[in-house]
Amino acid sequence: MIEIKIDYEGKLRCSATHGPSGDIFSTDAPVDNNGRGEAFSPTDLVAASLGSCMATVMGIVAQRKEISLEGMKLSVGKHMSEDLPRRISRLEIAINMPLEESHPDRKALESAALGCPVHHSIHPEIEVLLNWHWV
Residue-wise pLDDT for 34-55, tens only, equals 999 999 999 999 999 999 999 9
* pLDDT at residue number 50: 98
CA 47 to chain centre: 4
The H-or-E segment that residue 92 falls in is strand 88-96
Residues 15 and 63 in one domain: no
φ and ψ at 32, to 5 degrees? -75, 5
Residues 125 and 99 in one domain: yes
DSSP tag of 83 = S
Residues 129 and 78 in one domain: yes
Residues 18 and 47 in one domain: no
Report how many domains make up the chain.
2
Residues 66 and 84 in one domain: yes
Q: What is the CATH number of the domain that holds 64?
A: 3.30.300.20
Residues 48 and 96 in one domain: yes
DSSP tag of 86 = P
51-99: per-residue pLDDT in tens?
Answer: 999 999 999 999 999 999 999 999 999 999 999 999 999 999 999 999 9
CA 89 to chain centre: 15
Residues 56 and 106 in one domain: yes
* pLDDT at residue number 7: 98
Going by DSSP bridges, is the β-strand pair 73-80/24-28 parallel, antiparallel, or unpaired? unpaired
- Note down the domain range covering 68: 41-133
Residues 120 and 76 in one domain: yes
Residues 26 and 54 in one domain: no
Residues 13 and 52 in one domain: no
What's the pTM value of the predicted model, to 2 decimals? 0.94
Residues 2 and 20 in one domain: yes
**How open is the CA angle 71-77-80, to the nearest 5 degrees?**
160
Cis preceding-peptide flag for 85 (omega within 30 of 0)? yes
